[in-house]
């Protein structure tokens, strides 16, 4: 089973709302990732969790707040977003992170299409 699930599929929120995106995998992967993808562009890395600890934050604004409650679950909490934050948000997981010289392919979820009004 190489499935990463994401909910919701679509989300429309106002600039004053608080919402959360959820990502789940049951492959025993210990690294999980959030990416932001604008139309016709490649995904941009936002956050990396390795063994449930935040290991990379790519200078993402604080209105995005990641959380990794356990090894299977990854959340992205959203608050006071701007219209330019509208994008496809992709979650991915891999067996482990890239430390130690071993690199594993990332498996992606179907994404959440976020629209900020």
Partner 1 sequence: AQTVTQSQPEMSVQEAETVTLSCTYDTSESDYYLFWYKQPPSRQMILVIRQEAYKQQNATENRFSVNFQKAAKSFSLKISDSQLGDAAMYFCAYNGANNLFFGTGTRLTVIP
Residues that bind partner 1 (CB under 8 A): 33, 40-43, 45, 48, 56, 88, 90, 92, 97-98, 101, 103, 105-111, 113
Distance from C-alpha of 72 to C-alpha of 17, rounded to nearest angstrom: 26
Q: How far is the CB of 16 from partner 1 (least distance, A)?
A: 27
Nearer to partner 1, 79 or 110 (CB): 110
Q: How far apart are CA 62 and CA 57, in angstroms?
A: 10
Residues 56, 61, 62, 66, CA torsion sign: negative
Least spacing, CB of residue 68 vs partner 1, in Å: 16
Minimal distance in Å, beta carbon 41 to partner 1?
7
């Amino acid at each position: 089973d190489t499935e990463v699930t994401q909910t919701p599929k679509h989300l429309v929120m106002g600039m004053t709302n608080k919402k959360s995106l959820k990502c789940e995998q049951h492959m025993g992967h210990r690294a999980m990732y959030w990416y932001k993808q604008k139309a016709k562009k490649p995904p941009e890395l936002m956050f990396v969790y390795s063994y449930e600890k935040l290991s990379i934050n790519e200078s993402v604004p604080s209105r995005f707040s990641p959380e990794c409650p356990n090894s299977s679950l990854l959340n992205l909490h959203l608050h006071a977003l701007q219209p330019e934050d509208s994008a496809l948000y992709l979650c991915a997981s891999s067996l482990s992170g890239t430390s130690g010289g071993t690199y594993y392919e990332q498996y992606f979820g179907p994404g959440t299409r976020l629209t900020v009004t």
